[in-house]
Amino acid sequence: MNYYDLNMELIKKNHDYLYKNLIKDGISHTNRLDAIETVKARDGENILLITYKGNTYRLNSMYRPAEEAKRWSEQYKFQNIKTVISMFGIGNGIFARAIIERMDESQVLVLYEPCYDIFIHVINNYDLSDILSDKRILIAVEGVNDFEFHLAIQSLIDVTNIKSQVQLIYPNYDHIFTESCVKFFKEIKDSMTSSRININTIIKLSERSIYNLFKNLIYLPNCMTLNDLKNYIPTHLPAIVVAAGPSVEENIEDLKRAKGKAVIFACDRILEYLLDKGVEPDFVVTVDPMKERRHFSLRDDVSVPLICTIHANHDILRHHVGEKIFCTSNFLVKEILNMLGREASNIPTGGSVAVSAFTACVNLGFKRVILVGQDLAYSGNVSHAGGEVDARGENDYILIEGIDGNMIKSRYDWKEFVIEYQDLIAVNPDVEVIDAKRRGARIKGTVVMPLNEALEQYCPADDRIESIEFGNRVIADRKIIDNIVAYLEGYIPVLKRISDEAETAVRKCNIVIRDNGRGLSGKNINDSLKRLKQINSFIREQEIYNLMDSYITSVTANQLSELLIVSENEEEYNLSTFQKSKIIYEAVIDASKYIMKMIKEAIEELKNHG
């Protein structure tokens, strides 16, 4: 088997998305070379020689390329656990191998090759089987699967390793492919920003999310799910997602015309404004655990069907009198819905209810989605419809690209929402997305078109619906509710055992910390580590731990972010680890007790359920 066939077989096996894009026609190649060849170094090793924009570059040492790569790699430290190493440039793999030799099993190497010509030449002329077979390695080639690099960086960074990132540049690649190098580091910077926002969101919302979950369990016996909704929704019509941007004001009359010709999904914050203007949407969407009622509606007679997560603000659900349609599929909700004979459904939720509404539309099967009020930018200092002024529009703003190509004022969170939209559009190429605004942030992948034109083009007058009817459904009886109560009661002894185990862990940590203070740092460490490992395994094996995790993260984010950072001084590292671990175990105890309390309250409410 020649090098190309060997390498392509391994790419197909281990890097499926890269393989599918490599064999596609019409790939948009970047950084095209004038020439590329493989020559021999003095020690007989194959090395790369390229010509780019009239300049010739040797990409490896002419004498001992492997030794050169080893020396180069030694300037970097990879001692931290779960480190994500991002490398700009693959070349012929020699420098990557020098890094791989120094990695442990917890670490990941993300390789980004900016030049398609180099990658194709290398898989034709070099054996990359060791690199392509290594499960710790992700590979992206610009113009082929660079979107996979974007997704990988975002998914790999979390609270435990955000302080342990390492970025590398293949020697001279930054001088040869400067624009791509800037793009590479911008992607990493944006991903780090996203991760910090996600961590801050967990810190802010975790306790309230758990509270809402157990308070909202009372609605599950009579609810619908997004999967249920698929049986009633007319997906041959366009969906319109109405967010709360200032441009909604100029679209009110067109939204009135759209009623019956499209299915209108309103975001929570715009609902009251629409109702005041005489526009009743077909659905309203809310996902934020801390969304205030005043940013939904202060009315007590809102009957617009509500699409929500189980974590959405209980106060909103309590005052809403219409159909509730859940789109959450955690283990608890899934099991309860199974008892009710329903299939759980799930949409990923971030910081934007509009993005969640868009995702719901895609999940339901709409092939055309029209975005309204998704400005994601200031209009002067106005941030939302109704003339709501945000003082940050005066000084604390960023600049992003507008739909006309000019830079406009926006916010960091809005920029994140633009990226979320672009990611969703990229992975759903069969869905046409129309951005119905005359100003605002550019969302790549959308067709910019005024709403009145979109309605004329995609909503013919003879194709309309009067209303969406859900029909009669079976409501849970007392026996099923009793089964749900018994299911929840089963978690109380589990949580008690988790709390007891965590208390044991705290005592073990205290012993080691005390001994260290007495100069007995070596004593009891091995026994304590062994016992803590057993405790950790037990806690993580419990299904309910999935619910506790965000609570623990919110309380111990600082400790978690430093727990995997390894000090060169073993004694200091051991002491620091036990000190941080103690705080984490104390958070486990608090989480256990809090969830136990919420389960007991939910049980009482279900027992009193009519």
Three-class DSSP labels, 432-447: EEEEECCCCECCCCCE
**Do 452 and 484 lie in a common domain?**
no
pTM: 0.82
Tell me which of 365 and 461 has the higher pLDDT.
365
**Do 486 and 448 lie in a common domain?**
no
User: Which segment, 194-208, 455-469, 476-490, 560-574, is predicted with the most confidence on average?
Assistant: 476-490
With beta carbons less than 8 A apart as the criterion, state whether 315 and 291 touch: no
**Do 446 and 501 lie in a common domain?**
no
Q: Give the chain's count of helices (H) and strands (E).
A: 22, 20
190 alpha carbon, distance to own chain's centre: 13
Residue 205 lies in a domain: no
**Do 436 and 398 lie in a common domain?**
yes
**Do 23 and 73 lie in a common domain?**
yes
Considering only CA atoms, which of 491, 475, 458, 14 is closest in space to residue 237?
458
Residue 473 lies in a domain: no
**Do 235 and 381 lie in a common domain?**
yes
With beta carbons less than 8 A apart as the criterion, state whether 20 and 147 touch: no
User: CA 397 to CA 377: how far, in whole Å?
Assistant: 10
* Largest Cα span, the chain: 85
Residues 311-329, mean pLDDT to the nearest whole number: 94
Residues 495-508, mean pLDDT to the nearest whole number: 95
Residue 321: pLDDT over 80:
yes
User: CA 172 to CA 95: how far, in whole Å?
Assistant: 12
Q: Give the chain's domain count.
A: 3
Residue 453 pLDDT level (bands cut at 50, 70, 90): very high
Residue 152 pLDDT level (bands cut at 50, 70, 90): confident
> How high is the pLDDT of residue 566?
65
Tell me which of 197 and 168 has the higher pLDDT.
168
Q: Please report the DSSP string for 312-373 in residue order.
A: S-HHHHHH--S-EEE----HHHHHHHHHTT---------S-HHHHHHHHHHHHT-SEEEEES
Angstrom CA distances, 8 to 5, 139, 474, stand at 5, 13, 54
Residue 545 lies in a domain: yes
Domain range holding 96?
3-195
Residues 538-550, mean pLDDT to the nearest whole number: 92
User: CA 509 to CA 506: how far, in whole Å?
Assistant: 5
User: CA 326 to CA 229: how far, in whole Å?
Assistant: 10
Residues 7-14, mean pLDDT to the nearest whole number: 96
Residue 155: pLDDT over 90:
no
With beta carbons less than 8 A apart as the criterion, state whether 390 and 383 touch: yes
**Do 362 and 434 lie in a common domain?**
yes
**Do 437 and 496 lie in a common domain?**
no
Residues 134-143, mean pLDDT to the nearest whole number: 95
Residue 380 pLDDT level (bands cut at 50, 70, 90): confident
Residue 517: pLDDT over 70:
no
User: CA 572 to CA 280: how far, in whole Å?
Assistant: 63
Residue 330 lies in a domain: yes
> How high is the pLDDT of residue 567?
64
User: CA 390 to CA 400: how far, in whole Å?
Assistant: 17
Residue 13 lies in a domain: yes
> How high is the pLDDT of residue 475?
72
**Do 28 and 110 lie in a common domain?**
yes
Q: Which residue's structure tokens are 């969906």?
A: 239
**Do 106 and 7 lie in a common domain?**
yes
What six digits make up the tokens of 371?
Answer: 């975005």
pLDDT tens-digit readout, 558-609: 777 766 666 666 677 777 888 888 999 999 999 999 999 999 999 999 998 7
Residue 521: pLDDT over 80:
no
Residue 202 lies in a domain: no
- Across 57-71, 258-272, 556-570, 575-589, least confident range: 556-570
Residue 442 lies in a domain: yes
**Do 65 and 186 lie in a common domain?**
yes
Q: What is the mean pLDDT of the chain?
A: 90
pLDDT tens-digit readout, 177-188: 999 999 999 999
Residue 212 lies in a domain: no
Residues 511-515, mean pLDDT to the nearest whole number: 83
**Do 484 and 402 lie in a common domain?**
no
- CATH number at 15 reads 3.40.50
Residue 523: pLDDT over 60:
no
